[in-house]
Amino acid sequence: MDSSEPSPSGEPDDRPVVPAQRSDQDAYLRVRDLRVRFDTEDGVVRAVDGVSFAVERGRTLGIVGESGSGKSVTSLAILGLHDPKRTTITGEISVGGRQVVGLGDEEVRRLRGRDMAMIFQDPLSALHPYYTVGRQIAEAYRVHHPKANRREARQRAVDMLDRVGIPQPARRFDQYPHEFSGGMRQRAMIAMSLVNDPALLIADEPTTALDVTVQAQILDLLADLQAEFNSAIILITHDLGVVGQVADDVLVMYGGRAVERGSVEQVLRAPQHPYTWGLLSSVPSLHGDADADLVPIPGNPPSLINLPPGCAFHPRCRYADRAGSRSRTEVPELRPAGEGDSAGHLVACHLSAEERATFYAEDIASVGVAR
Ligand SMILES: Nc1ncnc2c1ncn2[C@@H]1O[C@H](COP(=O)(O)OP(=O)(O)OP(=O)(O)O)[C@@H](O)[C@H]1O
Ligand code: SF4
Ligand SMILES: [Mg+2]
């Protein structure tokens, strides 16, 4: 990484590199000080600005944040899917001990599909309308198993369709995507992602387009499959309620940066960042009082071309002045949330632990949310 690169506030960026997680060294996926920049006609978009985390096999990391916070850009960088001509990526991404940043196209392609796979929000973007669902899953298998013959690949695809809960999988194998319902297409895409038994699975808003019942089924399915395949999973969502259901750890992103990180228990039970408080009060399933209104976070997410100086959340933070002028001038580092906190709960906010505890209590009282 180029540490002399100016930060969005124009100051030299001398923030220390934040350690990934306590399990960092053993983790299957390790991301360290990831920065992703796009050069556009309007200026440089700093879509991801110094993010670090790690995911072990058998664990699920939820990445949450509003639209435009850099969640998808982070996952596309891990999968090596950005156009290198328009994108500058620095930092480290290690997948099963191999560095992805700087790897050639061919090598990343080999990793993708075999060691890591992605489930997109919209299954139609991954399933080709002209080919049968089964053929696409079988082909995805054969790309990484060149010795498998057609019959074996077909059998593997039918087994996977069965495994993800598609009824009559042998018959469904020969149907086209438009003959599947939305929930079934999402299952088929999960089958395709898992056909090569990837160690890392990234699910980007996998349930947003589905109704609530199907959403719950898909989340259950992901949890079952994780137990069976022992994958490391990243689940990207704007919904902290979804994270509460399936994730082990959470990373909260705002303006391309990590603002809070910890276990689900820590972040949902004792959230530390005012932005996380805002996200929680806008989630129906975490909203304790059914009669109280959900409270959206006032204002809009920032432009990543021109981030506000200091803490990027300050224009929307009701506690900005309580932390003095620093909220507007200094980018807060991600640091342990409490004195002597060794359990890895990190927050990027200038308020002290005591102030956060006091203001969080005030926040709950003011929005009428029992969390
Ligand atoms: N190829 C690109 N060129 C320029 N800007 C881009 C490109 N891809 C993403 N961005 C910008 O990067 C920022 C982060 O985008 P990203 O897709 O990661 O957001 P997100 O957190 O996934 O949001 P959503 O919840 O809407 O999916 C956005 O401002 C987006 O416009
Ligand atoms: S640093 Fe200041 S503006 Fe940012 S979240 Fe903390 S109090 Fe709010
Ligand atoms: Mg996205």
Rg of the Cα atoms in the chain = 21
**Which of the listed residues 260, 307, 313 should we mutate to test ligand 2's pocket, taking the one with most ligand atoms within 8 A of CB?**
313
Distance in Å, CA 313 to ligand 1 centroid: 18
Q: Map out the domains of the chain as residue ranges.
A: 1-115+199-371, 125-197
- The confidence score (pLDDT) of residue 4 equals 39
For ligand 2, whether the C-beta of 313 sits within 6 Å is yes
Sheet arrangement for strand 98-99 = 43-55, 29-40, 87-95, 98-99
Q: Which residue's entry shows tokens 């750890």?
A: 249
Is residue 142 lining ligand 2, measured as CB closer than 6 Å? Answer: no
Report the nearest atom of ligand 1 relative to the CA of 40. Answer: 4
Query: Could you tell me if the CB of 349 is within 6 A of ligand 2?
Result: yes
Q: Is the CB of 351 under 6 A from ligand 2?
A: yes
Mean pLDDT of all residues in 248-273: 96
Which of the pair, 210 or 239, is modelled with greater confidence?
239
Which residues are within 8 A (CB) of 131 and not within 5 positions of it... i.e. 6 or more apart?
139, 176
65 pocket-lining for ligand 1 (C-beta < 6 Å)? yes
Q: Which residue's alpha carbon is at the smallest distance from atom 8 of ligand 2?
A: 320
**Distance from the alpha carbon of residue 235 to the mean position of ligand 2, in angstroms:** 26
Report whether pLDDT(263) > 80: yes
- Atom of ligand 1 at shortest range from CA of 66: 25
Among protein residues, the one with the nearest Cα to ligand 1's atom 29 is: 68
By most ligand atoms within 8 Å of CB, the mutation choice from 34, 35, 37, 38 for ligand 1 is 38
- The residue written with tokens 């387009």 in the block is 209
Q: How do residues 128-176 score in pLDDT, each as one tens digit?
A: 999 999 999 999 999 999 999 999 999 999 999 998 889 999 999 999 9
* CATH 3.40.50.300 is the classification of domain 1-115+199-371: yes
Distance CA 28, CA 31 (A): 10
Q: Look up tokens 């001398």; give the residue.
A: 14
C-alpha 232 to ligand 2 mean position (Å): 32
Cα separation of 197 and 52, whole Å?
26
Q: What is the pLDDT of residue 284?
A: 61
Q: Tell me what the pLDDT averaged over the chain comes to.
A: 87
Give residue 103 CA to ligand 3 midpoint distance, Å. 24
- How close is the Cα of 179 to the center of ligand 1, in Å? 31
Mutational test site, ligand 1, from 73, 207, 304, max ligand atoms within 8 Å of CB: 73
Q: Where are the beta strands (DSSP E) in 239-294?
A: 249-254, 257-263
Q: Quote the CA–CA distance of 117 and 110 in Å, as a whole number.
A: 11
69 lines ligand 1 (CB under 6 A): yes
Proximal ligand: closest to the CA of 348:
2
Contact at 8 Å (CB) between 228 and 205?
Answer: no
Q: Which of 22-36, 47-61, 247-261, 311-325 has the lowest mean pLDDT?
A: 22-36
Quote the pLDDT of residue 221. Answer: 84
CA–centroid distance, residue 332 to ligand 2 (Å): 8
Mean of pLDDT values over 236-253: 91
**Cβ 44 under 6 angstroms from ligand 1:** no
* CA atoms of 359 and 274, how far apart (whole Å): 9
Asked if residues 88 and 36 have their Cβ atoms less than 8 Å apart, the reply is yes
DSSP 293: P
- Mean pLDDT of all residues in 238-253: 91
* Nearest one of 60, 48, 50, 47 to 16, comparing CA atoms: 50
Q: Is the CB of 135 under 6 A from ligand 1?
A: no
The whole-model pTM stands at 0.89
In this predicted model, which residue has the larger pLDDT, 371 or 231? 231
The reported pLDDT for the residue numbered 338 is 83
Q: What pLDDT is stored for residue 256 in this prediction?
A: 98
Ligand 1 atom closest to 45 (CA): 5
Please report the pLDDT score of residue 345 as a whole number: 95
Ligand 2 site, residue 320, Cβ cutoff 6 A: yes
